[in-house]
């Protein structure tokens, strides 16, 4: 990674953290910590742009944080962060800059130096895309928008469109097709009329097999169902404009290779969001993210929310050795947030070698998972309270609801509070099967309201948090070579499913191939 730093386990501060863990980390007790420090909540919670975060129910104290910050400094976190914002090629394995933050920089705050041309291009694409979005929003004949894309070209737009549905203009339905499984596309097409549908083919590379197969089938369906104007009913969101043209799409919104797929909802890939929220809503989303960028760029480490969370992640993964983290959004519109965060964190930091290619001897990305509360409470929270493993939990609550059904919201908030409280305080006196060990950590995020600004800020906060742990681990958080091998093997296996050729395959794959051929 650029900004030349030292891998965290090679810093002097790492040794101090190890001693601190042995002395007070292993036996850390949250209940005792609160009893001993009346100001713990204030010390370990903070405001950040559009977001309040309570970290006080985590297995840390101010000394833990200070030691983690010392490691961050020694490992060069700040220089790496500045290198990212400056456009250095910190994605070394692909020799690319990482500049998704430029996408949310307002036109009124142009960057100094060499990014000026890129910035101008960002804003002219943004203006064109938002003008297109407004035109389509005003076109009552388009009732259905189908986004065809996968991974970063699906999860971000889908999550945001769902989360901010209350801000969407009525009259348009949004559909997201990602899987190459034809059941998905066929199910959506069944309810559509070609003359009322706009297809968005979203693919950074415009080569992803699933997306290409779905786009071709969508076009075939369009033509076979009487659709005549492909140019009007298909648009492409891609950095491979030539391939989109070759596909026959005339309306294309582009972006550069310095926007990673899982960081791309701020780019042309965000067109479904702009269609749902309008130009103003999309700009509000960008503004929230930009406010968090500025916080990450300028706040001292001790009051820098993404940094504090990223360091907590390192503490949990490398010292407590927790292998998973669970996300509990107490807002049903955030249903797709766990899936979105899975790609963001696990594709970014699920790496086994450092920047120089050396095998790491410590854990990196945890498994992220979760469901909206209170649903999760009636499914897997049993394990969170009484299981043998400790899983740090992240509660996300919204103070002001956007519905007026009486009684619901206080019940929802009480549940979120109660779960965090129960995980921490436990219940020791009941004994046996009714015993709750407690001391189970959680972080609690609060939005005033689930607005475009708040969601934009939250997503940017998570991006920078992932950057922080990745920087300490000295991994490249911006490539994804691990997604490639399976793609190559699928290309080899597809014709074998037709021919039955099982030569040179391992026994299991050969056996399954034969089994699946008969279906």
Known catalytic residues are 347, 378, 487
Is residue 205 close enough to count as binding ligand F6P by CB under 6 A?
A: yes
Give the nearest distance from C-beta 355 to ligand F6P in angstroms.
19
If you ran DSSP here, which 8-state letter would residue 448 be given?
S
Is residue 443 close enough to count as binding ligand F6P by CB under 6 A?
A: no
Is residue 211 close enough to count as binding ligand F6P by CB under 6 A?
A: yes
Check the CA dihedral 158-369-45-103 and report its sign.
Answer: negative
Segment near ligand F6P (CB under 6 A), from 151-159, 225-233, 436-444, 446-454? 151-159
Give the nearest distance from C-beta 344 to ligand F6P in angstroms.
10
Do the beta carbons of residue 165 and residue 114 sit within 8 Å? no
CA distances from 81 to 38, 114, 169, 435, 469 (A): 34, 17, 38, 45, 12
Is residue 153 close enough to count as binding ligand F6P by CB under 6 A?
A: yes
Which of the residues 300 through 359 are near ligand F6P (CB under 6 A)? 347
Q: What is the dihedral of CA 471, 473, 477, 480, to 10 degrees?
A: 170
> What are residue 140's phi and psi, to 5 degrees?
-70, -15
Toward ligand F6P, which CB reaches closer, 152 or 392? 152
Q: Please pick, from the candidates 186, 483, 489, 497, the single residue that binds ligand F6P as defined by CB under 6 A.
A: 483
Give the nearest distance from C-beta 360 to ligand F6P in angstroms.
21
- What does the alpha-carbon distance between residue 116 and residue 138 come to, in Å, rounded to a whole number? 33
Q: Please pick, from the candidates 87, 151, 338, 370, the single residue that binds ligand F6P as defined by CB under 6 A.
A: 151
Q: Are strands 51-54 and 173-177 parallel, antiparallel or unpaired?
A: unpaired
Toward ligand F6P, which CB reaches closer, 151 or 366? 151
Short-list 36, 397, 452, CA closest to 283: 452
- What does the alpha-carbon distance between residue 451 and residue 167 come to, in Å, rounded to a whole number? 8
Segment near ligand F6P (CB under 6 A), from 136-144, 148-156, 158-166, 167-175? 148-156
Q: Please pick, from the candidates 208, 419, 469, 477, the single residue that binds ligand F6P as defined by CB under 6 A.
A: 208
Q: What is the dihedral of CA 114, 120, 123, 129, to 10 degrees?
A: -120
For the stretch 297-300, contacts whose Cβ atoms lie closer than 8 Å and that sit 24 or more positions apart, written own/partner, are: 297/81, 297/82, 297/85, 299/48
How many Cβ atoms sit within 10 Å of the Cβ of residue 21?
18
Which of the residues 33 through 52 are near ligand F6P (CB under 6 A)? none
Is residue 476 close enough to count as binding ligand F6P by CB under 6 A?
A: no
Toward ligand F6P, which CB reaches closer, 261 or 288? 261
Segment near ligand F6P (CB under 6 A), from 147-155, 221-229, 368-376, 458-466? 147-155
Is residue 172 close enough to count as binding ligand F6P by CB under 6 A?
A: no
Toward ligand F6P, which CB reaches closer, 81 or 262? 262
The set of residues, in sequence order, having a beta carbon less than 8 Å from that of 244 and lying 6+ positions away, is 201, 206, 236, 238, 252
Site pattern 359..398 for ligand F6P (x: CB under 6 A): ----------------------------------------
3-state secondary structure of 187: helix
Q: Please pick, from the candidates 8, 145, 150, 384, the single residue that binds ligand F6P as defined by CB under 6 A.
A: 150
Residues in the chain: 519
Strand partners, 395: 328, 444
Short-list 409, 397, 416, CA closest to 458: 397
Q: Please pick, from the candidates 104, 204, 464, 465, the single residue that binds ligand F6P as defined by CB under 6 A.
A: 204
Write down the H helix ranges in 399-506.
Answer: 408-425, 452-473, 484-499
Give the nearest distance from C-beta 243 to ligand F6P in angstroms.
10
CA count, 13 A, side-chain hemisphere, 457 = 25
Give the nearest distance from C-beta 227 to ligand F6P in angstroms.
24
Toward ligand F6P, which CB reaches closer, 157 or 227? 157
Is residue 217 close enough to count as binding ligand F6P by CB under 6 A?
A: no
Which of the residues 233 through 262 are near ligand F6P (CB under 6 A)? 261-262
Residues that bind ligand F6P (CB under 6 A): 150-153, 203-205, 208, 211, 261-262, 347, 480, 483
């Amino acid at each position: 990674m650029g900004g030349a730093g030292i891998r965290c386990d090679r810093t002097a501060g790492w040794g101090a953290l190890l001693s601190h863990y042995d002395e007070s980390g292993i036996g850390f007790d949250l209940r005792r910590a609160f009893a001993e420090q009346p100001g713990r909540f204030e010390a370990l919670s903070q405001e950040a742009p559009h977001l309040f975060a309570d970290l006080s129910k985590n297995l840390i104290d101010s000394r833990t944080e200070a030691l983690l910050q010392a490691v961050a400094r020694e490992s060069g976190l700040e220089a790496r962060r500045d290198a990212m914002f400056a456009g250095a090629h910190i994605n070394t394995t692909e020799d690319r800059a990482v500049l998704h933050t430029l996408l949310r920089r307002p036109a009124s705050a142009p960057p100094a130096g060499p990014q000026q041309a890129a910035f101008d291009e960002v804003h002219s694409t943004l203006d064109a895309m938002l003008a297109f979005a407004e035109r389509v929003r005003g076109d009552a004949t388009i009732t259905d928008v189908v986004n065809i894309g996968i991974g970063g070209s699906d999860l971000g737009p889908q999550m945001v469109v769902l989360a901010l549905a209350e801000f969407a203009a009525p009259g348009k339905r949004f559909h997201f097709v990602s899987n190459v499984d034809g059941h998905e596309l066929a199910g959506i097409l069944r309810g559509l009329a070609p003359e009322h549908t706009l297809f968005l083919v979203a693919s950074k590379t415009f080569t992803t097999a699933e997306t290409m197969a779905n786009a071709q089938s969508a076009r075939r369906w369009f033509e076979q169902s009487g659709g005549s104007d492909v140019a009007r009913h298909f648009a492409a969101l891609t950095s491979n404009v030539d391939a989109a043209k070759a596909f026959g799409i005339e309306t294309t919104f582009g972006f550069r290779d310095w926007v990673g797929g899982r960081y791309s909802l701020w780019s042309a890939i965000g067109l479904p969001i702009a269609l749902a929220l309008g130009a103003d809503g999309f700009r509000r989303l960008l503004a929230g993210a930009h406010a968090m960028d500025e916080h990450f760029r300028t706040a001292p480490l001790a009051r820098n929310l993404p940094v504090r969370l990223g360091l907590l992640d390192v503490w949990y993964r490398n010292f407590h050795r927790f292998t998973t983290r669970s996300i509990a959004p107490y807002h049903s519109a955030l249903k797709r947030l766990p899936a979105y965060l899975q790609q963001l964190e696990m594709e970014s930091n699920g790496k086994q070698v450092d920047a120089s290619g050396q095998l790491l001897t410590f854990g990196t990305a945890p498994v992220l998972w979760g469901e909206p509360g209170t649903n999760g409470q009636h499914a897997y929270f049993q394990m969170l309270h009484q299981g043998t493993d400790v899983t740090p939990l992240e509660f996300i609550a919204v103070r002001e609801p956007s519905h007026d059904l009486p009684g619901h919201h206080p019940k929802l908030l009480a549940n979120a509070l109660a779960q965090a409280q129960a995980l921490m305080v436990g219940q020791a006196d009941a004994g046996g099967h009714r015993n709750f060990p407690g001391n189970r950590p959680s972080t609690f995020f609060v939005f005033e309201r689930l607005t475009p600004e708040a969601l934009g800020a939250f997503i940017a906060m998570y991006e920078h948090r992932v950057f922080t742990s990745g920087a300490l681990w000295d991994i490249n958080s911006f490539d994804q070579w691990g997604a490639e091998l399976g793609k190559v093997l699928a290309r080899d296996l597809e014709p074998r499913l037709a021919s039955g050729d099982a030569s040179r395959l391992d026994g299991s794959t050969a056996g399954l191939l034969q089994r699946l051929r008969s279906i």
